[in-house]
Structure 1
Amino acid sequence: MAQFKLDGVAIVVGATGGIGREVALTFAEAGVKGILLADLVTSAEVAEQTKFLASNPAFKCLSTRVDVTDVASVDDMVKLAVETFGRIDYCVNAFGVDVAEYVPFQQTSPEDYDRVLAINTKGPFLVTRAVGRAMLSQKPVQVDLGRLGHRDVGRGSIVNVSSAAALVAVPGKVPYVTSKHAVTGVTKAAAIDFKSACIRVNQVCPTWVRTPMFEEECRRVPQMPELLNKISPIKRPIEPDEVAAACLYLCSPSAVSVNGHTLTLDTGLLVGPTIG
């Protein structure tokens, strides 16, 4: 469908992770002109995969290192994207870390609290701030939707990949839960301040996703797969490509009216308990 094709330039931050990698591959398949892959380390493998899957014949991919907790590093990343591609149409923040150990509130390490919030909360703030500035300086664009005609899609779309822990609490993970709740604030604050410029900021909040972080959680909590089998209708963790599809929707022309929104991917778990 034309509404789910992308025809612009994307930054994927956290591009070597399970979700970030799938976002990059999905966006390449959807038709973007270019992608800047950003992470603590560069990945030639992900870059080559995006080139192989790209549906746009003019596709270009670039990989760079970024420290999302450092203002200068984030600003350099955005500057590189603008210098290379001319503009930024989509940005997906798909990075994050878990707590060092699962402990009750009163045993939480202040050092670990600072570490997790620096990455999970300050990171999205710095990236959204820098990307938003770049988007403010560029002209809105229109896309051709075929039988639907041309549609104004604004100056850009930013998506924060957060967690269902932005909506509810889980035991033993004070820094993580706090950081994800704060991402909701970053998302809504950015959305309200950028909306008059037609820049959209939304977040995706999945429950457990099949990533290295989930594998580590299963190691720490061996009963996790059995628990998911009992409480989730799909009886498995969410796949990274399913999260990427949600990010694609929020960046697509179909979501021009969606701003400051939390798209929850939870298989219905947060609706309430299942009885019987």
Structure 2
Amino acid sequence: MDAKSGILADRIALVTGASSGIGAAAARVFAKEGATVVLIARREAELAALVEEIEAAGGQAAYLVGDVSKPQDAARAVDFTVERFGRLDAAFNNAGIGGDQTPMHLMGDDVYDAIMDTNVRGVWNCLRHEIRAMLETGTGGAIVNNASVGGLVAIPAAAPYIASKHAVVGLTRAAAAEYARQGIRVNAVAPGTTRSEITVDWFARNPGLEEMVHGMTPQGRTAAPEEIAEAAAWLCSDRSSFVTGVAMPVDGGFCNQ
């Protein structure tokens, strides 16, 4: 596709958790669809290689290293985007971590804190600063948060992970309702099991889990990260202009069970 005619042509987009998995796939898809992408994650080597790849394909990209669970890093990412490219049109708040199938009564507070800090506080931090930047520009924008089917239903996995993704859906709906009149749309994608470093590690540490999840999914497979990224790109584009406050399952039919 000619990036000039893509669904995100001339957009300035921020992608968090962009060094691997769904985030890296989103960086590629957004750039292919015409966006200038700013990437943030904690691993510089992976970010630098991804920016080089996007630019070699004719796209425009930049990166900074940071951890969006820290308010100052989320603010820095938004400010960097605006200073470098003039505005922020779209954002995909993707950064997140998973959890084990440890029974709730055996789980330590440190696990709960780590999951909540990244999955909920990270989205909270980003939303606040992204919305601020869009309001200052006055031209609206689109934000997509990465939730999970675990934010729509309960599955036998880490309880804090399920709680964190329900919270992401709640933040999405609250922000959508609050800022719709200012032209800012806020939605979430709710992926089913998706191939990434997190899921490969998760399945390795929890034998039988992959087979169990596939058995619960009508399509019977794990998604490619690009399939989630394509949905996020559509939600960031004008093709979804009357869609806000939605947590859209991208799950092979999992939530229909």
Within 5 Å, give how 1:151-162 maps onto structure 2: 155-162=140-147
- Report the equivalent of 1:215: 200
1:204-230 deviation line (CA, Å, top 9, x unaligned): 001100111111122123323433443
SS across alignment from 1:137: helix
SS of the residue corresponding to residue 10 of structure 1 reads strand
Cα distance change, pair 113–63 in 1 and its aligned pair in 2 (3 A): same
| Whole-Å separation in 2 of the counterparts to 1:66 and 1:168 | 31
Which has the higher Rg, Structure 1 or Structure 2? Answer: 1
Whether contact under 8 Å (1:104, 1:171) holds in the other structure is no
The 10-residue stretch of structure 1 (103-112 or 11-20) with the greater mean CA deviation from structure 2:
103-112
1:184 aligned counterpart, secondary structure: helix
- What residue is the counterpart of 1:30 in the other structure? 33
Q: Which amino acid aligns with 1:40?
A: R
Task: Note the C-alpha offset of 1:160.
Answer: 0.5
Q: Please tell me the root mean square deviation across aligned C-alpha atoms, in Å.
A: 1.6
Alpha-carbon deviation of 1:102? 2.4
Listed one character per residue, the Cα deviations across residues 123-171 of structure 1 (whole Å, up to 9, x for unaligned) are 001101001000001132xxxxxxxxxxxxxx11100011100011122
1:92-107 alignment, distance < 5 Å: 92-99=92-99, 101-107=100-106
Matching of residue 231 in structure 1 with residue 216 in structure 2 = yes
Mean Cα deviation higher: 66-75 or 175-184: 66-75
* 2:54 aligned residue (44, 50, 56): 50
Q: Distance in 2 between matches of 1:258 and 1:102?
A: 34
Shift of the 260–229 alpha-carbon distance from structure 1 to 2, 3 Å rule, reads: closer
Counterparts of 2:182 and 2:135, CA distance in 1:
7
Specify the alignment match of 1:151 in structure 2: none
Q: Cα gap change, 1:224/1:9 in structure 2, threshold over 3 Å: closer, same or farther? A: same
Percent of counterpart pairs with the same letter?
Answer: 32
- Looking at structure 1, the residues matched to 26 and 75 of structure 2 have their Cα atoms a distance apart, in angstroms, of 22
Query: Does the 8 A contact of 1:25 with 1:53 survive in 2?
Result: no
C-alpha distance in 2, partners of 1:172/1:227? Answer: 11
Instruction: Indicate whether 1:40 and 2:42 are aligned.
Output: yes
Offset of 1:53 from its aligned partner?
3.0
Q: Does 1:18 align with 2:17?
A: no
4+ residue segments displaced more than 4 Å: none
Contact 2:6 2:32 in 1 (8 A): no
Output one character per residue of 1:178-235: Cα deviation in whole Å (capped at 9) or x when no partner.
1001001111111111111100110000110011111112212332343344333332
Asked whether the 8 Å contact 2:7–2:34 carries over to 1, the reply is: no
Relative to structure 1, the CA distance from residue 96 to residue 206 in structure 2 (aligned partners, 3 Å threshold; closer, same or farther) is: same
| Unmatched segments (≥5 aa) in structure 2 | none
CA contact (8 A) 2:98 2:202 kept: no
Classify the secondary structure of the residue corresponding to 1:4: coil
**1:70 and 2:74 matched:** no
243, 251, 257: which one aligns with 1:266: 251
Match for residue 91 of structure 1?
Answer: 91
* Paired letter, 2:168: V
Give me the TM-score of the superposition, normalised by structure 2.
0.93
Instruction: Give the gaps of 5 or more residues in structure 1.
Output: 141-154
* Count of residue pairs the alignment pairs up: 252
Moved more, 184-193 or 238-247: 184-193
Q: TM-score, normalised by structure 1?
A: 0.87
**In structure 1, the residue corresponding to 2:190 is in which secondary structure?**
strand
